[in-house]
Structure 1
């Protein structure tokens, strides 16, 4: 069965974004407690590209389908899980990349490279880490899974913070303040 087309975040109002989010029901991966079956021989690179046995997975619908059964384990590792099996998957940084952003009416929405849409707030916090190559901003997508916020969107967040008068600089979304500095 083909995946439904990705929603167009740019064409949606923030109320339409919230309505879209409310209709989504992710797979119950946290309830699937099957025994470990091995290694998927898959890897998610820091740019969001998925690989199998070292070759890029070119079918975007296949990647989107795999993303729906991705889970973060208590030990920090990642697995692909279904009711019958659990396979390790390597993740270089975060499993997703936030590639679109919309800021409107006191809320900031993000869309990932696999189509997930979230509104930053209490359930989807923003966080910032300092790394050798500069700041790395993240947004929580679901169940311990984060998206690295793409560099152009980070600059958009910085511009929003500059427009505000908060100290330290930061952004507000869904009633929560997120400082743009590492915790």
Structure 2
């Protein structure tokens, strides 16, 4: 079956983005509780690259398929979950990368490296980590998974915040988020 990625965020309204989010069908990982566990021999590098037994996974369709099975448990471990087993997966930073962000009406839409789109808000909050000198910004994607904003996407949000007169703060979906972690 051919894959058609969603349109670019710049071409979509917030309602169209919300519809894309609604239409996304993910496997019901939350409903599966397999007894068998193991190691996937996979690693997700800090830059979002996926590796299996040391070899880079180069097919985007495979990355999207594996990402749809991902979850993070309450202890912070990442798993690929299937109905019959769950396999650990090493994650260097965050398993997903936010690669684009756009202001649409009263929301901020984010596109992930898996072509998923999210609308920042209560269900998908922005989370600032790191230091004020070297901040890292993440968005909660799903199932405990975070997506780290790449440098250009962080810069997009910083420019929006400054243009809106909101010094290092963004409002989306009725929620306000800091682009900087709290001062130590």
Q: TM-score, normalised by structure 2?
A: 0.92
TM-align CA RMSD? 1.7
Do the aligned residues in 1 keep the contact of 2:36 with 2:85 (CA within 8 Å)? yes
Whole-Å separation in 2 of the counterparts to 1:62 and 1:172: 34
Deviates more, 1:42-51 or 1:122-131: 122-131
Which residue of structure 1 aligns with residue 11 of structure 2? 11
Shift, 1:163, TM fit: 2.1
Shift, 1:114, TM fit: 0.8
Do the aligned residues in 1 keep the contact of 2:131 with 2:181 (CA within 8 Å)? no
1:118 equivalenced with 2:121 (yes/no): no
Do the aligned residues in 2 keep the contact of 1:172 with 1:178 (CA within 8 Å)? yes
Change (3 A) 1:10 1:160: closer
Whole-Å separation in 2 of the counterparts to 1:39 and 1:48: 19
Whole-Å separation in 2 of the counterparts to 1:3 and 1:44: 25
Change (3 A) 1:3 1:174: farther
Do the aligned residues in 2 keep the contact of 1:116 with 1:141 (CA within 8 Å)? no
Trace 1:123-162 onto structure 2 (pairs within 5 A).
123-130=123-130, 134-162=134-162
SS at match of 1:172: strand
Whole-Å separation in 2 of the counterparts to 1:83 and 1:15: 34
SS at match of 2:30: helix
Q: TM-score, normalised by structure 1?
A: 0.92
Shift, 1:131, TM fit: 5.0
Deviates more, 1:113-122 or 1:10-19: 10-19
The superposition leaves residues 46-94 of structure 1 with CA deviations (integer Å, 9 ceiling, x where unpaired) of 1110000111001110110011001111211001011011100000000
